[in-house]
Amino acid sequence: MKVGIINVTGYAGVELARILARHPDAQITSVTGRSAAGQKLGDVFPHLSEIDLTITEEITESVDVVFSALPHAASAERIGRALSDGVKAIDISADFRLKDLAVYEDWYSVQHPCPENMEQAVYGLTELHREEVSDANLVANPGCYPTASIMALAPAIDAGIIERDIIIDAKSGVSGAGRGLSLKTHFSEVNENFMAYSVDGHRHLPEIQQELELLHSNGSLNITFLTHLVPMTRGILASCYAPLKEGAIASGPDAKDEVRDIYDNFYKDETFGKVVDAPPMTKHTLGNNDCVIYPTVDTRTNRLIVLSCIDNLVKGAAGQAVQNMNLMFGLPEDEGITQLALYP
Amino acid sequence: MKVGIINVTGYAGVELARILARHPDAQITSVTGRSAAGQKLGDVFPHLSEIDLTITEEITESVDVVFSALPHAASAERIGRALSDGVKAIDISADFRLKDLAVYEDWYSVQHPCPENMEQAVYGLTELHREEVSDANLVANPGCYPTASIMALAPAIDAGIIERDIIIDAKSGVSGAGRGLSLKTHFSEVNENFMAYSVDGHRHLPEIQQELELLHSNGSLNITFLTHLVPMTRGILASCYAPLKEGAIASGPDAKDEVRDIYDNFYKDETFGKVVDAPPMTKHTLGNNDCVIYPTVDTRTNRLIVLSCIDNLVKGAAGQAVQNMNLMFGLPEDEGITQLALYP
Amino acid sequence: MKVGIINVTGYAGVELARILARHPDAQITSVTGRSAAGQKLGDVFPHLSEIDLTITEEITESVDVVFSALPHAASAERIGRALSDGVKAIDISADFRLKDLAVYEDWYSVQHPCPENMEQAVYGLTELHREEVSDANLVANPGCYPTASIMALAPAIDAGIIERDIIIDAKSGVSGAGRGLSLKTHFSEVNENFMAYSVDGHRHLPEIQQELELLHSNGSLNITFLTHLVPMTRGILASCYAPLKEGAIASGPDAKDEVRDIYDNFYKDETFGKVVDAPPMTKHTLGNNDCVIYPTVDTRTNRLIVLSCIDNLVKGAAGQAVQNMNLMFGLPEDEGITQLALYP
Amino acid sequence: MKVGIINVTGYAGVELARILARHPDAQITSVTGRSAAGQKLGDVFPHLSEIDLTITEEITESVDVVFSALPHAASAERIGRALSDGVKAIDISADFRLKDLAVYEDWYSVQHPCPENMEQAVYGLTELHREEVSDANLVANPGCYPTASIMALAPAIDAGIIERDIIIDAKSGVSGAGRGLSLKTHFSEVNENFMAYSVDGHRHLPEIQQELELLHSNGSLNITFLTHLVPMTRGILASCYAPLKEGAIASGPDAKDEVRDIYDNFYKDETFGKVVDAPPMTKHTLGNNDCVIYPTVDTRTNRLIVLSCIDNLVKGAAGQAVQNMNLMFGLPEDEGITQLALYP
């Protein structure tokens, strides 16, 4: 299988290259990048020097599938061209995640360059849309925060045990902000510092809302989603809170067990959705494709608390993209993404 | 004014020494520590080498005020002795913070060694109890998380604009866990990692509950309080969420301004309670005694969001202790704690 | 091939487990640990939960090869027993690295518990002793600093282009200090801090000296070796300095090319010894088995400068141990250790 | 005393503002910055919000002294204007540090914009040039690396105990690279990474060479100076190596004592040059103006080793600049710079 990576020079792109370089059934045959065009991939990223490719402006080979790690808007346009050429596409950007064009254009403040492809796009949170992904030509790979947040809350919403008032307090390592320069990612500003950001509303909220409401039998959800920057490179932890529906589950200590059973059952056949016995830490996901989920109950207040962790560049981007590619091409879902977490 | 520091070798103790060494009206005359007894303070802590004192087992000088930075239970016992000797005392431990003995003994799983002094103890969140602190012989210095959380929520509760359902998602640097060794504070375990801890209930919850309920006109509060460990040394950020009471304030964008006015007004005469125009970061408090507070409204969900930052060792421990000492001795409240944040 | 890991709970042990869990020809069948005995490996290390083994006090299975990640002295004793049972052994500790018993006992301040096995031990810096490793029953896996330092200087010494006056200024991430608790590895002490340590002499010096002198045609070397602690988890960078022998190579800018040719030639057939065109960074080796080497010349002073990087837990410990195992069992040298560096 | 800060928005400039805001005899009356011109200082740097000044393009007040924290070349030009106006000037840039115009123009690849002021400029390493600084109108504040390196080696060179072959292996926190954006200071690139940089020659070398040769009785020095980037914000540690001159001091263990005496004596009257008994760490200087120096001898190789630490933004920039200002205006040398290190 020949694979092209558009915008290999961002962190999602370079992580795709790392993963695909060891994928038994994929071969990277073309990689693009604007500012680095003309350079050898291994000169820009020495850890990839074994991949003997020159970065080009455009995909130069005929490929079976293309991953786009471009910024939104730019991505949709290129994806459109690939689809026209009969190439399957996985879009790491936000362009095809939202089903409602108006919501997209409102949150992203651009006109969608390629709305005609929105309908065929499948939201690629694999665990929730496995069948559709298998049949898709275009997969919209989920955002990093949505992956952690949706996987944390889906079982509870699906089981109907929580009220609609949800708080997601999410924390991410700095690589989530990308490789582009900014004072907000300048080492001396971020290091030894902790802050909230996008306090007036983060673009990942509508995506979370859309997917969780699909599972919610009873109208809209009332979600507050707040993001924070952790002085580390990789990892997301989402802390999710919601009131338990009165009478929906046992009260007291049994509540924890009952919630646990619901989660175990929801993810019982999953390779990467892991329900665990103790509060997780992001380090347990460093470099792997897991989403580690710990559901519990604050029995003092009768609230559900769910903690979930992912590596934002793996399950939150490149790893899940490869998971989706595997499904689209009938390969084992975990092929090429079985790496264990790097600890410590 | 002669000052003694009990257990100078913990992080709160050594921070007290740093601050008091530059305090114009205080002189450290005796410092204690168990394992380091017999050593020069400057040999254990080279940055304090100008303080020419030997660490002893017990306070060796007659002093005007004693700070105890001992662990709970051990602290109350020593404080009791100081008070009997007519020495004023500021307790950095949790021993005298809770008014209800049963709550203390339940959360701390010990018998209180000195309950007879509980009644005279003043909870030393200075901004809320200034008058009582001024008259006190015994001040219970607040915990670090409670300082940030209570200051974040007090204005809203006092103004009666929020419902009783409160989520406090708090994040702390590692120095909050103290200088004692543990795998949980081992560098390679904490670095490049983010996790929640004390998920079943953190001991600072009853303290937060007690103080906020004092301000709440209408019965008990339903608080979920969850703590997280940030891979940095100093700093706390608390993200606080609560539904706005219907009709209590304007809806829509005006809500933000109205909330802001309530906060501005609450802290208008304060030196260290600073309401700010933009989401704060912990770095703005590095080494200073400020509590920086940013109140806003999630207008999509009609929830109050308040972000607050402190340096856990200054406003969250040693700095506030000195602020309280200043009041107890009739000194200007900010004497010795005017240091600006170290940036970057 | 059945593999046992003695002391799996240290960082070298747990890294061995991570690597061997994905090795196509090895199966971990027994893991030991003292304090964690009786626990499931996956409960202590959640990222290894797929390995279904209980930690035991002693190796419980008959195995083909045993890795010991015990501290020195304790290690030799266990290794001795394994060898008696006809099991091949790879010792991650320092017990069999030094050829001279007196030097060992002097630097490690213990009596060697198993000197009878010293002679058969092969120093397992694979690139220098490949043939002997292939035939060995006992491999002494090199220290992390020695691996980086020896690989940096071996080509120059072998080519006879430098004088005997060598300075090795080495810097390591904190995982090199192990998983044992100490104030020196306490997060708040190490973070945002940089220091030299073992200034009076680090135990890795005699090992470096022994191996480099084997390559030195002309008597002893005069090596100063100073180690520093970097506030990061993994990675070593060694900066090595030595005067160029007068007339040994061209002077001026050509010196750099000539030195580069010597290094290229020395490592031309190596998978893991990589001579590079630009100064390396430890991140290029994060999680991989490479030793990345950059030789250059300070043409102002006519000194050789060599910079080398490794991941201290991979090429500096577990990865090189597996590389040696592969050779001992006739497998491809890179089997199971082809992981690319995790970037960023 | 009225003070102006040119380019307050860089890290040296903002650190000057922090220090001067608490200086008893100085008042900041004008601050400049290009991109931030028109903004309130406290809006750009919230920790300085008590300083009620607007950033302007040019110094707007008549001032007694001006600090320039501009980049080189730009700085000299502005300094020239200030001097013409009869204002004393302290230049944090490199423009007036080198006595030899050709050396400056060679290393900095620019034509010096203001060579006529070079002669009157005093190199402001205060401990070495106190008298001249006191009389100066123009002080060239030393670079951060030179401050640490020169103070480490000056006593040994002055005492004539070392040969001319010197290696300085220096390590710096990232704030030394300034507030300007670059991939080299991008958080995800620097964090968990360690590297050498400017391997072909760092601009601070000629400065070190110039000052140490002033102390060297016997011709030129043969210095290799290599810089490394530490993943932390503040702090420099310089590890310096040189062969002891044969017969110059005792051999064996006594050598250490003799070297120590030489250093003690050299710095015996100094406030900020501190010779210490144990290897120092950068954290001992966090936020203070100390240069902490540990001289010792590698008795195996008869080499002097000196370790020195500073905070690169304090003794390495703004703190030393204020120390020089104090001397220039007849104030106590330590006024305003007595802050203790922030630990942990």
Identity of the residue in C179, C183, C187 whose CB atom sits nearest the CB atom of B191: C187
Q: Answer yes or no: is pLDDT of C252 > 90.
A: no
CB-based contact C122:C139 (threshold 8 Å): yes
Q: State how far residue B186 is from chain C, nearest Cα, in angstroms.
A: 5
Q: Which helix H or strand E contains A225, and what residues bound it?
A: strand A222-229
d(CA D177, CA A92): 33
> Within chain D, where are the H helices?
11-20, 41-44, 74-84, 101-108, 126-135, 144-158, 187-190, 205-215, 254-266, 319-328
Tokens representing C335 are: 């089997």
CB A161 within 8 A of CB A259: yes
CB within 8 Å of B64: residues ≥ 6 apart: B1, B2, B3, B87, B88, B329
Residue-wise pLDDT tens digits, B263-274: 999 999 999 999
Closest C-alpha among D236, D252, D109, D225 to residue D173: D236
How far, in whole angstroms, is CA D205 from its chain's centroid?
Answer: 13
CB nearest C233 (choices: A18, A340, A344):
A344
Q: What is the pLDDT along chain A (344 residues), one digit of tens a residue?
A: 999 999 999 999 999 999 999 999 999 999 999 999 999 999 999 999 999 999 999 999 899 999 999 999 999 999 999 999 999 999 999 999 999 999 999 999 999 999 999 999 999 999 999 999 999 999 999 999 999 999 999 999 999 999 999 999 999 999 999 999 999 999 999 999 999 999 999 999 999 999 999 999 888 999 999 999 999 999 999 999 999 999 999 888 899 999 999 999 999 999 999 999 999 999 999 999 999 999 999 999 999 999 999 999 999 999 999 999 999 999 999 999 999 999 99
Any B CB within 8 A of D190 CB: no
Alpha-carbon torsion, ordered B246, B252, B258, B259, to 10 deg: 70
Beta-bridged to residue C2, according to DSSP, are C27
Copy the structure tokens of residue C301: 């002073």
φ and ψ at residue C239, rounded to 5 degrees = -105, 115
Q: Region D195-204: what's the mean pLDDT?
A: 97
Q: Using 50, 70 and 90 to split pLDDT, how confident is the model at B31?
A: very high
Which D residues in the span 112-151 are in contact with B, Cβ-Cβ below 8 Å?
none
Selecting among A144, A240, A291, A309, the annotated active-site residue is A144
B240 is catalytic: no
pLDDT digits (tens, 9 = 90+) for D33-75: 999 999 999 999 999 999 999 999 999 989 999 999 999 999 9
The answer to whether A313 contacts chain D (CB < 8 Å) is no
Q: What count of other Cβ atoms lies within 10 Å of the Cβ of residue C324?
A: 28
What pLDDT score was predicted for residue C233?
98
**Domain ranges within chain A, ordered by starting residue:** 2-120, 145-314
Query: Which of A308, A111, A80 has its CA nearest to residue A208?
Result: A308
| Strand boundaries in C190-244, DSSP class E | 195-197, 222-229, 236-243
Which residues 221-240 of D have a C-beta within 8 angstroms of B?
Answer: 233-234
DSSP state of A53: -
Q: How far apart are CA D16 and CA D65, in angstroms?
A: 13
| D-chain residues near A182 (CB < 8 A) | 181
Q: What is the mean pLDDT of chain B?
A: 97
Task: Supply B283's token pair.
Answer: 């770095």
Chains touching D by CB (3 or more pairs below 8 Å): A, B, C
| β-strand pairing of C27-32 with B291-298 | unpaired
Residue D34 has φ and ψ, to the nearest 5°, of -85, -60
- Nearest C-alpha neighbor of B172 from the set B220, B125, B239: B239
Shortest Cα distance from B191 to chain C (angstroms)? 7
Cα–Cα separations (whole angstroms), residue B140 to A36, A220, B28, B76:
60, 46, 20, 10
Q: What H or E segment, with its residue span, contains residue B15?
A: helix B11-20
The pLDDT score that the predictor gives to residue B261 is: 98
In tens, the pLDDT along C168-209 reads 999 999 999 999 999 999 999 999 999 999 999 999 999 999
Nearest CA in chain B to C229: B187
Quick one: tokens of A136? 């898709």
Q: How many CA atoms lie within 13 A of B292 on its CB side?
A: 24
Instruction: Work out the number of other CB atoms within 10 angstroms of the CB of residue B110.
Output: 13
By the 8 A CB rule, do C163 and C243 touch?
Answer: yes
Question: Is residue B218 predicted with pLDDT exceeding 90?
Answer: no
Q: Give me the pLDDT at residue C251, please.
A: 82
Residue B256 has pLDDT above 90, yes or no: yes
- Could you tell me which chain A residue has the CA closest to the CA of C192? A192
* pTM for the full predicted model: 0.98
Q: C27 to chain B nearest CA, in Å?
A: 27
Q: Which residue's structure tokens are 């009952």?
A: A258
Q: What is the DSSP string of D279-306?
A: --BGGGGTTS--EEEEEEEETTTTEEEE
Rounded Cα gap, residues B60 and B58, in angstroms: 6
Chain B residues closer than 8 Å to A300 by CB: 201, 224
Amino acid at position A71, single letter: P
Per the CB < 8 A criterion, the answer to whether A96 and A83 are in contact is no
Which DSSP category does C142 fall into? Answer: P
Residue C87 tokens read as 């099991």
Quick check: D148 and D165 in contact, CB under 8 A? no
Whether D181 shows a pLDDT value over 90: the answer reads yes
CA–CA gap between residue B297 and residue B305 (Å, rounded): 6
Q: Which residue reads 């009260």 in tokens?
A: A251
> Would you call A338 exposed, middle or buried from its count of C-beta atoms within 10 A (0-12, 13-18, 19+)?
middle
Residue D252 pLDDT greater than 90, yes or no: no
Residue A335 token pair? 């092929």
CATH number corresponding to B2-120: 3.40.50.720
C193 touches chain B (CB under 8 A): no
User: Looking at the domain C145-314, which fold is it?
Assistant: Dihydrodipicolinate Reductase; domain 2 (3.30.360)
d(CA D34, CA D56): 8
Put simply, whether C276 touches A (Cβ < 8 Å) is: yes
The whole-number pLDDT of residue A218 equals 81
Pairs from A334-339 (Cβ < 8 Å, separation ≥ 24): A334/A271, A334/A272, A334/A289, A335/A23, A335/A24, A335/A25, A336/A19, A336/A20, A336/A22, A336/A23, A336/A24, A336/A25, A336/A26, A337/A19, A337/A288, A337/A289, A338/C22, A339/A287, A339/A288, A339/A289, A339/C22, A339/C339
Do C98 and C206 contact (CB within 8 A), yes or no?
yes
Distance set, CA A50 to CA A16, A327, C139, D281 (Å) = 15, 27, 30, 39
Sheet containing D65-68: which strands, arranged edge to edge? D55-56, D27-32, D2-6, D65-68, D88-91, D138-140, D122-123
Say if CB B313 and CB B234 are below 8 A apart.
yes
- Give the pLDDT confidence score for residue B102 in this predicted structure: 98
Query: How far is residue B9 from each of residues B16, B55, B71, D174, measured CA to CA in Å?
Result: 10, 9, 12, 30
Closest by alpha carbon to D173, among C192, C106, B140?
C192
Neighbouring chains to A with at least 3 Cβ pairs closer than 8 Å:
B, C, D
Is the Cβ pair A185, D186 closer than 8 Å? yes
User: What does the pLDDT read at residue A219?
Assistant: 85
Lookup: tokens for A57: 């402006």
Residues of chain C with pLDDT > 70, as a percent, come to: 100
Q: Which residues of C touch D241 (CB under 8 A)?
A: 167, 169, 224, 241
What six digits make up the tokens of D180? Answer: 């300007």
Evaluate if residue D144 carries a pLDDT over 90.
Answer: yes
Residues with Cβ < 8 Å from A81, sequence gap 6 or more? Answer: none
Dist. CA A173–CA A236, nearest whole Å: 6
DSSP codes, C14-60: HHHHHHHTT-TT-EEEEEE-STTTTSBHHHH-GGGTTS--BEESS--
Give the β-pairing of C165-172 and C138-140: unpaired
What is the band of C219 on the pLDDT scale with cuts at 50, 70, 90? confident
How far, rounded to the nearest angstrom, does the alpha carbon of residue B26 sit from its chain's CA centroid?
21
Asked whether the beta carbons of A21 and A339 are under 8 A apart, the reply is no
pLDDT confidence bin for D190, thresholds 50/70/90: very high
Whether the Cβ atoms of residue B104 and residue B41 lie closer than 8 Å to each other:
no
For residue B183, the tally of other CB atoms under 10 A from its CB is 11
Average pLDDT over residues D228-255: 95
Which DSSP helix (H) or strand (E) runs through A152? helix A144-158
